[in-house]
Amino acid sequence: MNPLAGGAIPSHEKEFAFLAGPRETATQAALRFVIGCPEISVALVGFTTRAQVDEACALADCAAVVTAAVRERLRSHLGGNLNEICTGCGYCDDCPVDIPIPAYMQFYNDKVMFGKSDDDMRKALGFHHDWGLLVGRKASAEACVTCGKCESACTQHLRISKWLETVAAWESGK
Ligand code: SF4
Ligand code: SF4
C-alpha cells in the first residue's frame, strides 16, 4: 500500500532522484522496487490516468528481483524520517474545530523529509493562505485544542497537534 508515499514521490521527483536508475524517473523506480520485492505479492497503486496504469503494467512486466546490494544502496540514502511521512490519506479530516488538517499536513513532508527552512515554510504557508490549499479555511492551526481525535485516526501515528503548533508559530510570523 502507498508505493508512491501518497504522491510524495511523484511530487518530489528531484528530491527522490537517488532512487532512480539510468533513464527512469523516481516514480518508476519506486514502483519497480515494490513490484520487484519478493516479499510483496500485491502493489496497491493509486491511478488518475490511463497512462499511469500502462506505466505500472509495463514495469510489472519487466521488474527484476530487488537485490540486497540495491537495498543497501537505497538504505544509505534514507533517513529515519521516511518512516514518519504523511501519506495524504485524509483519515484525520474530522476536526471538531474545523481545522483543515490534511491541507496543513501537505506541508509536513516538506519540512520532515526535505528539511526546508523555516523561511521557506512561512512563504509556502503565506502563498497557500491566499491562493492555494488554505484559502477559505474555517479555522487556522492556532485553533487546535489538542483533543487528539486526529492523532487517533492517523494511519501513520503522526503528532499532528505538535505539527499544528509549529505551523501556528509560522503563521503568526515567528
Ligand atoms: S488535536 Fe487539534 S487538529 Fe486534531 S482534531 Fe483535535 S483540535 Fe483538531
Ligand atoms: S491521517 Fe495521518 S497520514 Fe493520513 S492525511 Fe492525516 S496526517 Fe496524513
pLDDT at 81: 57
pLDDT at 143: 98
DSSP annotation of 22: T
Nearest atom of ligand 2 to the alpha carbon of 157: 2
* Ligand 1, atom 6, residue with closest C-alpha: 147
Confidence of residue 97 (pLDDT cuts 50, 70, 90): very high
Give 156 Cα–ligand 1 centroid separation in angstroms.
16
Q: What percent of the chain has pLDDT over 90?
A: 58
Domain boundaries, the chain: 5-77, 101-171
In three-state secondary structure terms, 116 is coil
Confidence of residue 82 (pLDDT cuts 50, 70, 90): low
Average pLDDT over residues 102-118: 87
pLDDT tens string 8-63: 788 888 888 888 988 999 999 999 999 999 999 999 998 889 999 999 999 999 98
Do 170 and 110 meet the contact criterion of CB atoms below 8 Å apart?
Answer: no
Q: Hey, is 12 helix, strand or coil? A: helix
Q: How many whole angstroms separate alpha carbon 91 and alpha carbon 6?
A: 13
CB 99 near ligand 1, within 6 Å: yes
Task: Please give the backbone phi and psi of residue 118, each rounded to the nearest 5 degrees, phi first.
Answer: -60, -35
